[in-house]
Amino acid sequence: MANNEESRGLKSLFDWFANRRKSGSTSLERQEREIADGLWHKCSKCSVLAYTKDLKANQMVCAECGHHNRVDSDERIRQLIDNNTWKPLDEHLRPTDPLEFRDRKLYSDRLRETQDKIGLIDAVHTGLGQINGLPIALGVMDFRFMGGSMGSVVGEKLTRMIEQATQRRYPVVIVCTSGGARMQEGMLSLMQMAKISAALQRHKDARLLYIPVLTNPTTGGVTASFAMLGDIILAEPKATIGFAGRRVIEQTLREKLPENFQTAEDLLQHGFVDDIVPRTQLKTTLAQLIALHQPVLTPPHMVLWETMSLTSTAAE
């Protein structure tokens, strides 16, 4: 009798564990399915699960640890530009394959596959819009398109946008993210660095403002040209910013580099970056900087005063 009761007790305990395991695995499966469906997002830094809707409302910044998740160019434009003010420029420019380059696959195939997969024609969006009511020309790079690499279309679109901005006397903001030059376009890709830099110099000669925003990662030819040519250079927290990769430098120098090497924080300390701005404050900060650099219009009473003093000087 006692044995029976004991075995029944053991059995129910066994069932309880079995059920628990079963329901545990179901909820784990469900959790994984929900992550896959995009309902939930697991932070790659602190592993905390966040409801994707909440994460998006917080501009893809983890509420727990402040990790800045990567955002695509469309989302970035939504975050920065006032509703219904965005006018895209040069959407018709398409990349070609003048060198008929082939690595593991043909560059032309790679282009087509990437375009079909993410629905972009190349790695940058350019346009005119308003930021808290102030007009700007904005370029936003997209890392999903071949690592945000700078090919001829990226160079041409950014150059045309800067030229438009100079003509209209608009400030320029470029949100950078890039692995560097696009090797599949060889020297044509490298020439974009000079072309964009020349357009920025003309913009500067016209006494107009340019602010690059360096996001994770900004490297290679982009860092070596327009990312570092700003009047005010902003960066997102913890962004990797550099020219050559860490491993290449370590192998060349044959020494271990510090942990924070090539981070926005390290660059700020060494004067390469002017400020680190969390994404949630980026729009306000940009609007404030642009407002501060608006051309000063002489108020009417000052004009009257100047006219009067000129008249009195003439009378003397």
Which residue ranges make up the site for Zn ion (CB under 5 A)? 43, 45-46, 62, 64-65, 67
CA distance 216 to 237: 9
Q: Which residue has the tokens 């966040």?
A: 50
Please say which residue, 50 or 162, places its beta carbon nearer to Zn ion: 50
Least distance between Zn ion and beta carbon 33 (Å): 21
Reduced to 3 states, what is the DSSP secondary structure of residue 124? Answer: strand
Q: Which residues contact 115 (CB under 8 A, 6 or more apart)?
A: 121
Please say which residue, 56 or 67, places its beta carbon nearer to Zn ion: 67
Please say which residue, 64 or 109, places its beta carbon nearer to Zn ion: 64
Q: Which of 235, 242, 167 is nearest to 199 (CA)?
A: 167
- Amino acid type, 296: V
Least distance between Zn ion and beta carbon 56 (Å): 15
Query: Are 118 and 145 a contacting pair, CB within 8 Å?
Result: yes
Least distance between Zn ion and beta carbon 43 (Å): 3
Please say which residue, 46 or 206, places its beta carbon nearer to Zn ion: 46
Least distance between Zn ion and beta carbon 254 (Å): 35
Q: Which two tokens stand for residue 278?
A: 């969390």
Least distance between Zn ion and beta carbon 281 (Å): 18
Please say which residue, 65 or 206, places its beta carbon nearer to Zn ion: 65
| Stretch (H or E) spanning 312 | helix 300-315
Least distance between Zn ion and beta carbon 66 (Å): 7
CA atoms within 13 A of residue 191's CA, in its CB half-sphere = 7
Please say which residue, 65 or 303, places its beta carbon nearer to Zn ion: 65
Backbone angles phi, psi at 213, to 5 degrees: -115, 115
Strand pairing class (124-131; 87-88): antiparallel
